[in-house]
Structure formats: C-alpha cells, structure tokens
Structure 1
Amino acid sequence: MGIVTSLLPFSIRCEPDGDVLCAHLAKGNRQIDELREQPPTSVLFHGPQGYVSPSWYATKREHGRVVPTWNFVVVQVWGTPTIRDDVQWLREQIEELTNAAEKGFRMPWKVADAPEDFIQAQMKGIVGLEIPVSRIEGKRKLSQNQPDRNQAGVIAGLRETGQEALADAVAEGRRQPDDFSLAK
C-alpha cells in the first residue's frame, strides 16, 4: 500500500512501563488492516511554524545578504501500534480526548451528556489505536543561526504579524538545543 497517513487527535497515557499514545479511527479507514500487522509507525506532532521575512533582520540593512526562511517546532514519535476493539478501552479514550478538548470551555460537554444508546452506536463505528512510545525525536528551527539582533527582529516581526506562539518559541528556542532524541 505504501505510506498512508491520517490526521488524528491523540491523547497520551503515562503508564509505569512507558508512555502510550492513544487515538481512535473509523472502522472504514484503510489503515486499520495494515496497523493490525503492527508495522513500525511514526506519529508527527507540530508546534508553531511560520514564514520569517528577511526584512526583519538587522543585517539586511547592513549588507543585504539575507533570505527568507521557515521557522518550526516538530516532534516525531515512533512505536508499534495495536488496534483495540475493546469497548471499555474505546469509551475511556473518547472520554479522555473529549475532556481534554472541552477543558477550556465555560460549560464543557461530556460524553455522558449524549444518550447512552447513541454513544454505543457511534462506538460500533470505530476502533482504538494504541502506540507505546519507543523513540522520540524533535527538531526546532527558530532562527538559532542568526545573531541576537536578527533574532530580536524576528521576534518583533512575528509579534507584529500576530504569530505570538512562534515568537514565544523563537524567544525560548534561543536557550534550547536544535535537536533532541529520547529512546527507551
């Protein structure tokens, strides 16, 4: 089949044996049969990202030898997937995911707010996905290669264009390594 991707929200469970990513997919998803074979699997999480204009660099005015770039934060997690058909596991996963997503709402919706027979019918159309984390790698490209005066310009430019999360990441990234890896 080749590489197949899906955009899924994940929750993470911190277990005594290690962290486990949890999600669910519609039973009609063509990835399920392949995932049942437990191939090595990766999950990509991205943080803030965005365009960096060379006009934000102080060195543009000094010598003009500047080009645009893209700043980003990304983490890739690997593990061996397991498809979960267990109704109790699915219920816990959808409640966990829903509770996390609804957390900031004034009146958070809960799975129990819907009729139980409706929830049970909906759960018949999904399967669970569990991926014990075996390796984590991340990368930050946050103008670390630029002198302080250019980084300050990037932070100001990002804030001016409403990209607060990326501006904060650039400010914080000055004190962080570019790459990191965690293995079990």
Structure 2
Amino acid sequence: MRQNPSFAFTDVIELRRLIELNPWVTLVAQTETGLMASHYAVLLDEGRDDLTIVGHVGRPDDAILGLGERELLVVVQGPHGYISPAWYGDGPAVPTWNFVSAHLSGVPEVLSPEENLEVLDRLVDRFESPMPAPRMMWERPNDPDFVHRLERGTVGFRLTPTRVEAKRKLSQNRPDEVVETIIAELDGSGPHRNPRLAAEMRRSQDQRLAAKGALR
C-alpha cells in the first residue's frame, strides 16, 4: 500500500477498532499457481491487546493458501466511497475516493481442533447474539456430533502480523470547511450518500479539531 504521511494510520487502538467493525476480510497468499484470495470473517484474539487475529478457512483453502507455511496478507476494508470535486468548491479539482484500510502480513499459526472450536463458537456468538432468537453453535437442533463434523471441515488460524500497513484517507488534507461540506453531502440524500463513511469522517474530524485545540 503506497503510504502518504497525511494519511498515516498507526494507532493500535484505532486499528483494533477497524478490525472489530469490519471483520469480513480478504486473505491473499502467493501459491504455486499464482496469487490466491479467499474471504472469511476474523476476530481479534481476545487474549491479546495487539493486532493478533483469529479465524478459520474451509478445507481445502488451508492447503491452497499454505496456511501455517507461507506469509498471508490480510486486507481489512473499512468504510469507503466516492468524493465529488463539486464538494471542494469552485476551484480546479478532480474526483477521489476516501477510505480506511489496513494490510496485516505474517505467517499464521494453525490452531488445534479445540482452539478452532473456540474460535468458531466465538464467531457464531458475535454475529448471532443480536438476533431476536439467537441460534448458538452448541444449541439444539445442533448436537455435538454435528458441531465436531463442522469443525473437521475447517482449519483455524491465529495471525500475529509482523508487518502492518494502514491508511486512513478521509480528506485530512482539506480545509475544515471543505471536510464539513463533504460530511454533509455523504450524510445527505444525493446519489453518493454514504452514512458509514460520513460517520468515520466526522469521527476523524472531531479528533483533528480536538488535537488542534490541545495545541493552542
């Protein structure tokens, strides 16, 4: 990922928030037949306070990706969207795309079946809990045999990244009044309405304004 000092994104707390809010990631590996990409949900490792993630892949993706043997690139994509040059004012301008994204690279550790079951249980709990009548992994009509068969069809992994590249491009290089206009447009009713991106820009803008105030 090409880096720009204006959009540098290195704060671990903010990166953990990005992963927590955007768990559907892309896994990329260099294989014997070329690049391979797969898509799975991941979670932060609850026993760590760094950027270690846990997840699983379905067989035979583990063999294709070389899980545990090769470096894996995990692409985390946050809110993103089109920014019109009309929102910058009357001067010369071109369109752009605002986004938040992180690349986590490292050789993953393959989990034991017991650890994999714990990760699968956590994944189900994370996404099923908000349902009106949650269907948890170990609850009927599932039985233990069914759950263990499910686990045997997957391979769990833990990845502690040895390299992190992240970028938060949210118009930080623009004047405050322009940023406010962009946020209003994204939060409006136009063709490029994007409330998630607007909320992320508002959060970033509030942080910037608070930092400016602290420096005075």
Shorter-chain TM range is: 0.7 to 0.9
Structure 1: runs of 5 or more not aligned: 177-184
Amino acid at match of 2:52: V
How many residue pairs get aligned? The number is 170
Corresponding residue of 1:181:
none
| C-alpha contact 2:116 2:157 (8 A) present in aligned 1 | no
Shift of 1:33: 5.9
- Structure 2 vs 1, CA of residues 137 and 33 (structure 1 numbering), >3 Å: closer, same or farther? closer
Amino acid at match of 2:146: F
Corresponding residue of 1:138:
166
Q: State the TM-score, normalizing by the size of structure 1.
A: 0.82
Amino acid at match of 1:72: F
- Structure 2 vs 1, CA of residues 151 and 43 (structure 1 numbering), >3 Å: closer, same or farther? same
- Structure 2 vs 1, CA of residues 152 and 17 (structure 1 numbering), >3 Å: closer, same or farther? closer
Match of 1:15 among 43, 47, 69: 47
SS in 2 for 1:8: strand
Match of 1:69 among 96, 105, 123: 96
| C-alpha contact 1:140 1:173 (8 A) present in aligned 2 | no
Aligned positions of 1:35-184 closer than 5 A = 35-37=67-69, 39-57=70-88, 59-60=89-90, 63=91, 65-84=92-111, 86-113=112-139, 114-161=142-189, 162-174=193-205, 175=207
- Structure 2 vs 1, CA of residues 167 and 17 (structure 1 numbering), >3 Å: closer, same or farther? closer
Amino acid at match of 2:76: F
**Alpha-carbon distance in structure 2 between the residues aligned to 1:141 and 1:19:** 21
Shift of 1:34: 1.7
CA RMSD of aligned residues (A): 2.1
SS in 2 for 1:46: strand
**Residue-by-residue CA offset, 1:26-69 (whole Å, 9 max, x unaligned):** 112265562232x2322111110000112222x23xx3x11111
**Alpha-carbon distance in structure 2 between the residues aligned to 1:74 and 1:164:** 17
**Alpha-carbon distance in structure 2 between the residues aligned to 1:33 and 1:51:** 33
Q: State the TM-score, normalizing by the size of structure 2.
A: 0.70
| C-alpha contact 1:4 1:31 (8 A) present in aligned 2 | no
Structure 2: runs of 5 or more not aligned: 1-31, 209-216
Shift of 1:124: 1.8
SS in 2 for 1:6: strand
Match of 2:57 among 25, 29, 47: 25
Identity across aligned pairs (percent)? 29
Q: Which has the higher contact order (CA 8 A, sep 6+)?
A: 1
